[in-house]
Amino acid sequence: MDGRGPYHIYDPGGSSEENGSTALERLVEENARLKEKMQGIKSIGELLEESQVEASKLRQKAEDLVKDNKMLIGSSSLENLLPCCTPGDPSLCVVGILGCHSLGSSDLAALPLQGSSSEFEIVAMEDLEQPPTEDANLLPQLQQLENTLSGCAKEASKDQVFVRMGYMASELKRLASKVHKNEQRTSFLQTLCETLHSENKELRTKLEHDLEQRNQDFGSCSAIPLSLQLLEVNKQWDQHFRSMKQKYEQKVGLGELAEARRAVTELESEREQKQRDFDRKLLLAKSRIETEEAEKERLGMEVRDLQQRMRFLQEQLAPVTRQREYQEKEIQRLNKALEEALNVQASPPPIFAMEPAGKLPQQELLTQNELLKQQVKIFEEDFQRERSDRERMNEEKEELKQQLEKLQKQLVLSNNQVSSTDFCTCSLQASGERLHPEPGPGPLGPACPMYQYQYSPPMAHPMYHGYEEWQQIRYPPAMPGEHTQGQNFHHFPPVRL
């Protein structure tokens, strides 16, 4: 207990156990590394075996190539001996062939070649039959074989056999270099295996030594008995730990309860706020619907008033147009009468021609002529006035039509707005949220005012001086029911749309 904290009480062995555990962990790690190295050594050994097998195969191929070269050299020596025999002496050819068969490899090597520009060396059979045991002996022999075969290929370029022999010699050299590389690799792998094997032995001995040391330390630590003082201190610490744990749990529980209550109050306030917002939106929607309906009614009343006014103006315009037509016809009739009067004045009848000039009623004719001219002027002025009145009434009619179209558009727009607000209200009511009781209907907006302009009755046309003769014009009688509705316009109820 000297100067140690409470966290060392549960350690019966002190620092020796920690050192032993760290040593054990280190030994386990070293053992794992050794296993990995052993696996690498095994793979290297497998590669070494494969390289040895490949080297044996290459050596076998080299021996086969040497045998083929030996057979080709023998056949070439026979071909060189046959030209020495004459075609007329076959016995000499037979003797030459038998002599070649009886000669050894040394004799064949000593024979010169005839029919060629130079001589080349024939390798002895004993030299070729000896397989190369080491790469240092194989390379000079292969080089010598390649030189020999290349010389044969140069001397007998027409013969394809020597060309093939040169190709085989180059292939043999390539295989020999490959064998040399494989042997170098094998030697390198062998040295690597030896070093790894030595390292493995060293690590194994070290591991065994560490394990023995660990066992000794563990036995010495387990032999130390626990003292009563440590047990008492452990009990005190256990009681203290339990009391602190209970206090902490109580504190955490109270904090969680307060947090839950606060969350509940926040959710309740948020729900009430949402409900108030929903009620306010619903009241606004209802008031908007009521105002839209009032606006719709007002626009409908204005449309009906404008339609009635338009019908009234049309009824007033109809007799004016008929009167204008009759006036045009009367003007045409008077023009014809004036032309006839002028014609009569220009060519008097034969009864007056026989009379003297002083006795003709010239004053009467002049008066009648002036009267007709004045009537024509009056008719023209009246016609121009009627035309201006008709144009003015047409302009008023167009303005009323435009106002009617504008009001109809406003009515359609208000209908669409009312339908959209109705749909929003239905969707809000179907959402399932709590609704407050609807308030009583309040005072509606200002009603649509009546049309402030009074409809003017049909104006009476004034009679001008000098138009007394117009009273003789007989207009056709008015159609039944033509002016009754226009005259009694204010007594009829408004038309429903």
Higher pLDDT, residue 427 or 90: 427
Considering the domain architecture, whether residues 209 and 293 belong to the same structural domain is answered as no
In 3D, which of 17, 161, 200, 16 has the Cα closest to residue 80?
161
- Domain presence at residue 251: no
Question: Given this model, what pLDDT does residue 388 score?
Answer: 86
Higher pLDDT, residue 127 or 161: 161
- Domain presence at residue 488: no
Considering the domain architecture, whether residues 443 and 301 belong to the same structural domain is answered as yes
Question: Given this model, what pLDDT does residue 314 score?
Answer: 82
**Which pair of structure tokens corresponds to residue 349?**
């009848």
Question: Given this model, what pLDDT does residue 267 score?
Answer: 92
> Considering the chain, what percentage of its residues have pLDDT values greater than 70?
57
> How far apart (Å, rounded) are the C-alpha atoms in residues 104 and 345?
175
- For helices 90-102 and 15-81, angle between their N-to-C axes, nearest 10 degrees: 150
Task: Give the best-scoring range by mean pLDDT among 85-89, 110-114, 294-298, 480-484.
Answer: 294-298
Question: Given this model, what pLDDT does residue 371 score?
Answer: 82
Considering the domain architecture, whether residues 104 and 213 belong to the same structural domain is answered as yes
Q: How many domains does the chain have?
A: 2
- Domain presence at residue 307: yes
Question: Given this model, what pLDDT does residue 62 score?
Answer: 72
- Burial group, residue 231, by CB count within 10 angstroms (0-12, 13-18, 19+): exposed
Question: Given this model, what pLDDT does residue 122 score?
Answer: 37
Considering the domain architecture, whether residues 166 and 20 belong to the same structural domain is answered as yes
Considering the domain architecture, whether residues 174 and 296 belong to the same structural domain is answered as no
- Domain presence at residue 250: no
- Domain presence at residue 384: yes
Question: Given this model, what pLDDT does residue 432 score?
Answer: 53
Question: Given this model, what pLDDT does residue 141 score?
Answer: 58
Q: What is the mean pLDDT of residues 11-34?
A: 65
Question: Residue ranges of the alpha helices (H) in 82-159?
Answer: 90-102, 105-110, 125-129, 135-155
**318-337 pLDDT, tens digit each:** 888 888 888 888 888 887 87
**339-355 pLDDT, tens digit each:** 887 777 665 554 444 44
Considering the domain architecture, whether residues 211 and 281 belong to the same structural domain is answered as no
- Domain presence at residue 408: yes
Angle, vertex CA 327, rays to CA 324 and CA 333, nearest 5 = 150
Residue 417 scores a pLDDT above 70: yes
- Domain presence at residue 355: yes
Question: Given this model, what pLDDT does residue 497 score?
Answer: 40
Q: What is the mean pLDDT of residues 231-239?
A: 83
Higher pLDDT, residue 136 or 408: 408
- Domain presence at residue 461: no
In 3D, which of 453, 467, 22 has the Cα closest to residue 214?
22
In 3D, which of 283, 262, 253 has the Cα closest to residue 439?
283
Question: Given this model, what pLDDT does residue 264 score?
Answer: 92
Residue 14 scores a pLDDT above 50: no
Instruction: Look up the domain containing 397 and give its range.
Output: 274-447
**252-301 pLDDT, tens digit each:** 888 888 888 899 999 999 999 999 998 998 899 889 889 888 888 888 88
Considering the domain architecture, whether residues 81 and 147 belong to the same structural domain is answered as yes
Residue 179 scores a pLDDT above 50: yes
The pTM assigned to this predicted structure is 0.26
Considering the domain architecture, whether residues 76 and 164 belong to the same structural domain is answered as yes
Q: What is the mean pLDDT of residues 48-62?
A: 76
Residue 224 scores a pLDDT above 50: yes
Lowest average pLDDT, out of 65-69, 229-233, 313-317, goes to 65-69
Considering the domain architecture, whether residues 293 and 415 belong to the same structural domain is answered as yes
Question: Given this model, what pLDDT does residue 273 score?
Answer: 92
Average pLDDT in the chain: 67
- Residue type at 303? V
> How far apart (Å, rounded) are the C-alpha atoms in residues 99 and 165?
25
Picking from 222, 249, 284, the residue at the C-terminal end of a domain is 222
Picking from 403, 431, 447, the residue at the C-terminal end of a domain is 447
Considering the domain architecture, whether residues 135 and 281 belong to the same structural domain is answered as no
Higher pLDDT, residue 38 or 127: 38
> What pLDDT band is residue 245 in, cutting at 50, 70 and 90?
confident
Considering the domain architecture, whether residues 423 and 283 belong to the same structural domain is answered as yes
> What pLDDT band is residue 163 in, cutting at 50, 70 and 90?
low
Considering the domain architecture, whether residues 419 and 340 belong to the same structural domain is answered as yes
CATH for 419: 1.10.287
